[in-house]
Amino acid sequence: MTDPLRVLFLCTGNSARSIIGAALLRKAGGERFDVHSAGTAPKGINPYTVRVLSSVGIEIAGERSKHVSEYDGQAFDYVITVCDAAAEQCPVFPGAPRRIHWSFPDPAAVEGTDGERLAAFRRTLREMQARISTFILVARNKDERA
């Protein structure tokens, strides 16, 4: 078995999108990926993030919101930015990782009833699941050819 591909999901707050992306890739990609998440200005994990992940059988107890500086000097195969601000502020990592940008609206910015806010997080989760399914296929195929 080859070494797992190291992937970092990056957004601004590391409260929703990057946490969701990392959790989904960990579950779907299994041992083939070493997955991390961080933010340029971490805020703590949004409670709706915990709720939507739990609804698909993913528990993130023990996970915490991290600043991207915790990964200074570490090499990644892929850095996936999931918001425009993080894409603009993304630091340089050693080893020239492949940078991918997926622009997702911030579900934490949605105001309204509990149901409306939860719906925004569910939409983000579904959209990320689709992207991650494709990413797993493409990333592994590229890695096997290298």
Which strand ranges, in their side-by-side order, compose the sheet holding 5-11?
33-39, 5-11, 78-81, 98-101
Q: Does the annotation mark 146 as catalytic?
A: no
Q: Is 75 exposed, middle or buried (0-12, 13-18, 19+ CB in 10 A)?
A: exposed
113 pLDDT above the threshold of 80 = yes
1 pLDDT above the threshold of 70 = no
Report the mean per-residue pLDDT for the chain. 90
The string of pLDDT tens digits covering residues 61-103 is 889 999 999 998 899 999 999 987 766 666 666 677 898 999 8
Q: How many domains does the chain have?
A: 1
pLDDT class of 21 with cuts at 50, 70, 90: very high
Q: Does the annotation mark 11 as catalytic?
A: yes
Pairing of strands 33-39, 5-11: parallel
Q: Does the annotation mark 113 as catalytic?
A: no
CATH code at position 38: 3.40.50.2300
DSSP-assigned states of every residue in 79-133: EEE-SHHHHHHPPP-TT-PEEEE-----GGG--S-HHHHHHHHHHHHHHHHHHHH
Task: Tell me if 90 sits within 8 A of 102, measured CB to CB.
Answer: no
The string of pLDDT tens digits covering residues 34-46 is 999 999 999 999 9
Q: Which residue in the list 28, 56, 90, 118 is annotated as catalytic?
A: 90
Structural domain of 42: 5-145
Question: What was the pLDDT predicted at 7?
Answer: 97
Q: Which residue in the list 83, 108, 128, 136 is annotated as catalytic?
A: 83
Question: What was the pLDDT predicted at 140?
Answer: 72
Question: What was the pLDDT predicted at 97?
Answer: 87
124 pLDDT above the threshold of 50 = yes
Question: What was the pLDDT predicted at 70?
Answer: 94
Taking the alpha carbons of 38, 4, 144, 71 in that order, is the dihedral positive or negative?
Answer: positive
- The answer to whether the pTM exceeds 0.85 is yes
Q: Which residue in the list 7, 8, 10, 11 is annotated as catalytic?
A: 11
